[in-house]
């Protein structure tokens, strides 16, 4: 008699099940990746987009065109991967764990990292460009990764009245955050066209207010005005500049805040300061700049100049420290901002991520980034 051969059905079945699980996971991941691209304006929204003074030939445009030629893709890749600057922190970034109860009746700001700031203004809470994901990318596997964790878990955030979005790039518009806050009933103030992304992600139209430059909307007792910016947009490489970018003015009954989002230095800052200022607080970008990018990205000296143009009282720098998205040393934006503010006599607050600042009494600068 010959010995019976061992049965191989179980290993084969396990292999089939494993392949099915992997296939389903890949399909779900790829679908989510495509969904993160967002949507495109259609119907009435598209008609409104086409009426915008900023829109021409199928694209939004800056009023002034960049006089400097853009660097080649090869040059950009060379500088991104072979730059010799110290692009990341040498030690762990100190993070403060904020605790919230009732929103401040005055004016306070908690910098969460990059351009995400929780502003407590006249009894309301406004959150700017909230990004909580590990990477600012359509992928969870590749793309710029955070240098520090969010100071507070997304689910632990206190009730947010309004989220303000400056534009649709991944380091400013984070799909999982949008979905989580929308499920809580949060309202969104966004530039023209960006609402198509939010609706693709399941946000109800009544929760979205889309504005062109110099348009305003009243939400939760606060007045939000989209103001000019010099930048660009796009989440899907096939669709660029089909949504608008903006800076923002937030007016409460007793305080005024300016948020730069992502922009180059523009002469409109003086006009914004004249028409909407003075501002108790300005949140202005200082990082991810480069000589070839300064048309669309302010450097620290430009940021301080913008604050003065806007007639700001206290400036909190944003758009630095969290991601490696600029061709400069990690600590350079902060060092240059402090030096420029001192020279210009500007009141600067440099909070750690998660540190809450009382704008009426900003703390002295502690060079924690050094």
Domain of 150, in residue numbers: 103-356
CA end-to-end span of the chain: 80
Give the Cα separation of 163 and 187 in Å (integer). Answer: 6
Q: Is 285 among the domain residues?
A: yes
User: Tokens for 235?
Assistant: 């989440």
Q: Is 2 among the domain residues?
A: no
pLDDT at 80 over 80: no
Please give the tally of structural domains in the chain.
1
The pLDDT value given to residue 1 = 46
Q: Is 93 among the domain residues?
A: no
The pLDDT value given to residue 68 = 76
pLDDT at 83 over 90: no
Q: Is 88 among the domain residues?
A: no
Question: What's the rounded mean pLDDT across residues 246-262?
Answer: 98
Q: Is 6 among the domain residues?
A: no
The pLDDT value given to residue 79 = 72
Question: What's the rounded mean pLDDT across residues 299-311?
Answer: 98
Q: Are 299 and 330 in contact (CB under 8 A)?
A: no
Answering whether pTM is above 0.85, one says: yes
CA dihedral 156, 162, 167, 170 (to 10 degrees): 10
Q: Is 44 among the domain residues?
A: no
The pLDDT value given to residue 30 = 52
Question: What's the rounded mean pLDDT across residues 142-169?
Answer: 96
The pLDDT value given to residue 31 = 64
Say what percent of the chain tops pLDDT 90. 77
pLDDT at 155 over 90: yes
Quick: pLDDT tens for 182-231: 999 999 999 999 999 999 999 999 999 999 999 999 999 999 999 999 99
Q: Is 136 among the domain residues?
A: yes
Q: Is 53 among the domain residues?
A: no
Q: Are 120 and 108 in contact (CB under 8 A)?
A: yes
> CATH no. for residue 149?
3.60.15.10
Under the banding of pLDDT at 50, 70 and 90, the label for residue 73 is low
């Amino acid at each position: 008699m010959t010995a019976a051969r061992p049965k191989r059905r179980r290993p084969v079945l396990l292999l089939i099940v494993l392949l099915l699980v992997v296939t389903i996971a890949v399909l779900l991941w790829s679908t989510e990746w495509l969904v993160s691209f967002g949507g495109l304006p259609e119907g009435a929204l598209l008609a409104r987009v086409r009426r915008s003074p900023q829109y021409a030939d199928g694209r939004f445009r800056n009023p002034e065109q960049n006089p400097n030629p853009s660097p080649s893709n090869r040059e950009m890749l060379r500088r991104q991967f072979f730059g010799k600057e110290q692009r990341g922190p040498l030690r762990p970034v100190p993070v403060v764990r904020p605790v919230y109860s009732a929103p401040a009746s005055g004016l306070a700001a908690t910098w969460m990292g990059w351009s995400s700031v929780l502003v407590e203004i006249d009894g309301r809470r406004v959150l700017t460009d909230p990004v909580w994901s590990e990477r600012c990318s359509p992928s969870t596997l590749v793309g710029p990764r955070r240098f520090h964790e969010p100071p507070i878990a997304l689910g632990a955030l206190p009730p947010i009245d309004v989220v303000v979005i400056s534009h649709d790039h991944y380091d400013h518009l984070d799909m999982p955050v949008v979905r989580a806050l929308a499920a809580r009933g949060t309202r969104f103030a966004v530039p023209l066209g960006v609402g198509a992304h939010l609706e693709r992600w399941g946000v109800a139209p009544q929760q979205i207010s889309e504005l062109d430059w110099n348009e305003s909307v009243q939400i939760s007792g606060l007045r939000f005005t989209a103001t000019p910016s010099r930048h660009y947009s796009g989440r899907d490489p096939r669709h660029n500049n089909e949504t608008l970018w903006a800076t923002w003015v937030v007016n409460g009954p007793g305080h005024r805040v300016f948020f730069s989002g992502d922009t180059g230095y523009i002469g409109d800052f003086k006009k914004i300061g004249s028409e909407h200022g003075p501002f108790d607080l300005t949140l202005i970008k200082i990082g991810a700049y480069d000589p070839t990018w300064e048309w669309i990205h302010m450097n620290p000296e430009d940021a301080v100049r913008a604050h003065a143009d806007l007639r700001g009282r206290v400036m909190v720098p944003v758009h630095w420290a969290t991601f490696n998205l600029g061709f400069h040393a990690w600590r350079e934006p902060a060092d240059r901002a402090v030096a420029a503010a001192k020279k210009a006599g500007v009141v600067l607050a440099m909070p750690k991520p998660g540190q809450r600042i009382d704008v009426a009494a900003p703390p002295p600068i502690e060079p924690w980034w050094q």
